[in-house]
Amino acid sequence: MISTKVLQEFQSIVGVENVDDSKAGRLVYSYDATPQFQSMPDAIVAPRTTKEVAELLKVCNAHQIPIVPRGSGTNLCAGTCPSEGGIVLLFKHMNRLLELDHENLTVTVQPGIITLDLINEVEKHGLFYPPDPSSMKISTIGGNVNENSGGLRGLKYGVTRDYVLGLEAVLANGDIIRTGGKLAKDVAGYDLTRLLVGSEGTLAIITEVTLKLIPMPESKKTLLALYEDMDAAAKTVSSIIADKIIPTTLEFLDQPTLKVVEDFVKIGLPTDVKAVLLIEQDGHPDIVARDIENITKICLAERAVSVQAAKSEEEAEALRTARRSALSALARLKPTTILEDATVPRSQIANMVKAINEIAIKHQLNICTFGHAGDGNLHPTVPTDARNSEEMERVELAFAEIFAHAIDLGGTITGEHGVGMMKAPYLEWKLGKEGIAAMKAIKSALDPLNILNPGKIFAKDSRKRVVISK
Amino acid sequence: MTTMKEQKNIQEQFKTRMNEDELLNCMRCGFCLPSCPTYIESGYNEAHSPRGRIALMKAVVDGIIEPDEDVEHSLNLCLGCRACEPVCPSGVKYGHLLEDARDIIHQNKKHSLPARITRKVAFEGLFPYQNRMRAVTNLLGLYQRSGLQSAVRKIGLMNFLPDHLSSMEKVLPSVPKMKEMGNRPVHLKAMGQRKAKVAFFSGCLMDTMFMTTNNATLKLLQIAGCEIHIPEKQACCGALHGHSGEKNQAKEMAKRNIEAFEGINADYIITNAGGCGAFLIDYDHLLKDDPNYCERAVHFKSKLKDLSNILVELNFHEDQNLSLPPQSVTYQDSCHLRNVMNTKHEPRTLLQSINGIRYIEMKDADRCCGSAGIYNIVEAEMSMQILDHKMKTAKQTNAATIVTANPGCLLQMKLGIEREGLSHKMQAVHIADFLLQAVDGKE
């Protein structure tokens, strides 16, 4: 617990109205979007400036109080669950767009700005910020940077990391640092920008972000390819990439996912097929037309039963919205929805989908799969019920096998959601003991007292690697 | 203050009565957050979001926290606009959860004496009885007609009331005389070809204070080809009770209404108030545990339609030559009509088919205006903050007329116009009154 004296120190820094230690206040910041994780913080503090953040950190450092930075709490790895108490640092006041630089094509923002608000603002000026996590309507840039979020456009344009040029951040001891800048080239020392992106709030508190923008693509086309079996859909993904076409978006949804999504969006998605691919290409109209034609041919050659083009931008947007709601819509099936984001090299998509289905049968589970097929980032999801402890055990076993399989195929345990608490026990499978040690060395150099989002990324115990029978 | 004993009782009942499956269905994705007016107006405070409120309810059920003042405040500050429901991919029935939680809290809490008296008079003595509603409304009419209103205004007596209440007094409609209110017909023939047999849900406020709007509604239905029955035995819909934690009273009203409408066997049951419609369409949920009424409620629900829906369905807007003098018009959604009854296109279709009108869509027309039953009285500060934002977007349309589809929204928009000092160039009207003007083609 935090003493009254420390609370008063917080209050004198940010004002009484920006410190909340009521039970209700603490409860509503005890969770994020990750099922099964909840823990009460001691207080919620909402700073207004970088200077206030620095002063707060000095107080926390002096009293060894954990700090959990939090945007909108949409993350899926329990990265913002205050597992060890302490304070939740809210960025609701620090949500301004500071500068749109038309000459350097950059935008500088505070971490609390909602991603979609930023996207809309730059698009007004004909500029493009490609990372578009499914939660972009809700999530903040600060959260996206900390978790290194991906999105539907990741295949062609990359993830958040690829657009962060510079950061302002506060270290655990209260020092304010600046990394990178509006530079296209910069090799001065260690790349702290890249180190902090995806560090899940464990290395520093990010207080300002400079992002790279690119010109808006001139045109865009959207396709929906329908399949009678999952394997054919998965093979299509590999064939498109092998044909040296990089679509903007190449998303996969299986039948159970299609059904719940259609139940929510009611836009007439085909629920009688086993799988669909949502494919988009953007760019110069001639190239888009050529790519779309080739993609259509490949889909049909790989046994798509039909390939439909969206007739209007509204129709295309409806399809994208449908895809973005997939995870939450799956909650319609059962009370608890557990999702993972095992990721493999994209040439292995078909193998991974096959393995997931076999694992589902083996453990008698219903596993729905959707995801960013084009970048190998799949979301096998189990609709279950947390009250059914026997089934929950099987779910855990199944996911352990899925992670093991992904790693065997040259993949990873998380493609875009982050490690947080959820994947922490599996991190060693991916990095090895030496890899973990290297990361821990960085952590203890920057945060010796372990006050920045403790309990995340590094687990107390790593899980024993399961042996996969091949 | 809620005493420890009251908190304990509330907690116990949360455990037994709250729908645990529904609470678990919220998978905390946060897709509801951008749709929630109080989350946005509170500067992104999770405690004033649907996800936060569900977490609080669940925490009370789980015994993690007590239902203290802060929990209660969070639930009270909810407008109940249910904008979170259509955007919830998991399909959580937030409105039902909120209703149950409020019911448990209010039934177990000893209210202050004035609050107790007010609640008893309003919920048990007034709303259930149409004749008493008429009598009270008649008092307002007497006040308006006797010269007392102008005297009160002249003396400045209203200045002693909080701003929004004194403005509210100014925008209340001129109510009809007692005699007119009492002489409601029970059966009206269709004009021209009879296309449908409908039963009209007349409502309590709508049939007293807003009687002219009800008359306009009936006229429109007749013109559209409806033979209309108005069951005499019908009661208030029960929404005010249901939303204020008087669920048993609400159930009684629901049963009376189901009985009253069963006899008529109409093709449709028509409402012209979004708030009532949404409560009526939920009767099957309200009475789900009552073996005598659950199936009858489903049947009742299946016939329910808003005025706009039936008019569009019967091609009223194409058959009639609707016209008005040139003017710009915008539409403010009734939250319950849009989010619960799923009616959003029809009112717009109707307005856009009036010749002479330039229809301008208001930014965030689907966001609650802050009226929300008696919310604008009990949570005045938040309500007025929401209204101020609403008026900002309303002004951006430059519309001379704001059309609404619910009495609460109508009064709130009138209040907003009054507060902004725009009454010389902007008006708020119910869609029924507006359409009838367009039929006659006059101002």
pLDDT (tens digit per residue) in B413-434:
999 999 999 999 999 999 999 9
In a shared domain, residues A297 and A354: no
Q: Is A351 a member of any domain?
A: yes
Taking the Cβ of residue A332 and every Cβ of chain B, the question of whether any pair is shorter than 8 Å is answered with yes
- Which residue among A175, A196, A215 closes a domain? A215
Indicate which CATH number applies to the domain containing A120. 3.30.465.10
Contact A27 B30 (CB under 8 A): no
Domain that holds residue A348: 330-446
Name the interface residues of B facing A (CB cutoff 8 Å).
21, 24-31, 33-34, 43-47, 49, 51-52, 55-56, 59, 64-66, 68, 70-71, 73-74, 88-91
Q: Is A242 a member of any domain?
A: yes
Amino acid at A269: L
Selected from 3.40.50, 3.30.450, 2.60.40, 3.40.1310, the CATH number assigned to the domain covering B317-441 reads 3.40.50
Q: Is A399 a member of any domain?
A: yes
Q: Class for domain B184-312, per CATH?
A: mainly alpha
**Distances in whole angstroms, Cα of residue B65 to Cα of each of A20, A318, B11, B76, B105:** 16, 40, 9, 17, 15
Backbone angles phi, psi at A89, to 5 degrees: -95, 115
Give the helix ranges, DSSP H, for B342-379.
345-352, 375-378
Residues of chain B within CATH 1.10.1060.10 domain(s) are 4-108
pLDDT tens for the 470 residues of chain A, in order:
899 999 999 999 999 999 999 999 999 999 999 998 999 999 999 999 999 999 999 999 999 999 999 999 999 999 999 999 999 999 999 999 999 999 999 999 999 999 999 999 999 999 999 999 999 999 999 999 999 999 999 999 999 999 999 999 999 999 999 999 999 899 999 999 999 999 999 999 999 999 999 999 999 999 999 999 888 999 999 899 999 999 999 999 999 999 999 999 999 999 999 999 999 999 999 999 999 999 999 999 999 999 999 999 999 999 999 999 998 899 899 989 999 999 999 889 989 999 999 999 999 999 999 999 999 999 999 999 989 999 999 999 999 999 999 999 999 999 999 999 999 999 999 999 999 999 999 999 999 999 999 999 999 888 887 666 54
In a shared domain, residues A261 and A294: yes
Nearest Cα neighbor of A93 from A73, A119, A120, A111 is: A111
Indicate which CATH number applies to the domain containing A357. 3.30.70.2740
Cross-chain CB nearest to B46 (options A29, A35, A327): A29
Residues of chain B within CATH 1.20.1050 domain(s) are 184-312
B contacts of A327 (beta carbons < 8 Å): 27, 29, 89
Mutation choice for B interface testing from A26, A27, A120 by most B CBs within 10 A: A27
Quick one: B1 exposed, middle or buried, by C-beta within 10 A (0-12, 13-18, 19+)? exposed
Q: Is A454 a member of any domain?
A: no
In a shared domain, residues A103 and A211: yes
Specify the pLDDT at position B126: 67
Q: Is A464 a member of any domain?
A: no
Indicate which CATH number applies to the domain containing A280. 3.30.70.2190
Report ipTM (2 d.p.). Answer: 0.95
In a shared domain, residues A325 and A426: no
Taking the Cβ of residue A32 and every Cβ of chain B, the question of whether any pair is shorter than 8 Å is answered with yes
In a shared domain, residues A207 and A223: no
Question: What CATH superfamily is the domain B4-108?
Answer: Alpha-helical ferredoxin (1.10.1060.10)
Count of the separate structural domains present in chain A: 4
Taking the Cβ of residue A263 and every Cβ of chain B, the question of whether any pair is shorter than 8 Å is answered with yes
Nearest Cα neighbor of A76 from A461, A415, A454, A452 is: A415
* Cα separation, A300 vs B35, whole angstroms: 40
In a shared domain, residues A324 and A383: no
Q: Is A455 a member of any domain?
A: no
Cross-chain CB nearest to A332 (options B59, B74, B91): B91
pLDDT band at B443 (very low <50, low <70, confident <90, very high): very low
Write out chain A in H/E/C secondary structure.
CCCHHHHHHHHHHHCHHHEECCHHHHHCCCCCCCCCCCCCCCEEECCCCHHHHHHHHHHHHHHCCCEEEECCCCCCCCCCCCCCCCEEEECCCCCCEEEEECCCCEEEECCCCEHHHHHHHHHCCCEECCCCCCCCCCCEHHHHHHHCCCCCCHHHHCCHHHHEEEEEEECCCCCEEEEECCCCCCCCCCCHHHHHCCCCCCCCEEEEEEEECEECCCEEEEEEEEECCHHHHHHHHHHHHHCCCCCCEEEEEEHHHHHHHHHHHCCCCCCCCCEEEEEEEEECHHHHHHHHHHHHHHHHHCCEEEEEECCCHHHHHHHHHHHHCHHHHHCCCCCEEEECECECCHHHHHHHHHHHHHHHHHCCCCCEEEEEHHHCEEEEEEEECCCCHHHHHHHHHHHHHHHHHHHHCCCECECCCCCCCCCHHHHHHHHHHHHHHHHHHHHHHHCCCCCECCCCCCCCCCCCCCCCCC
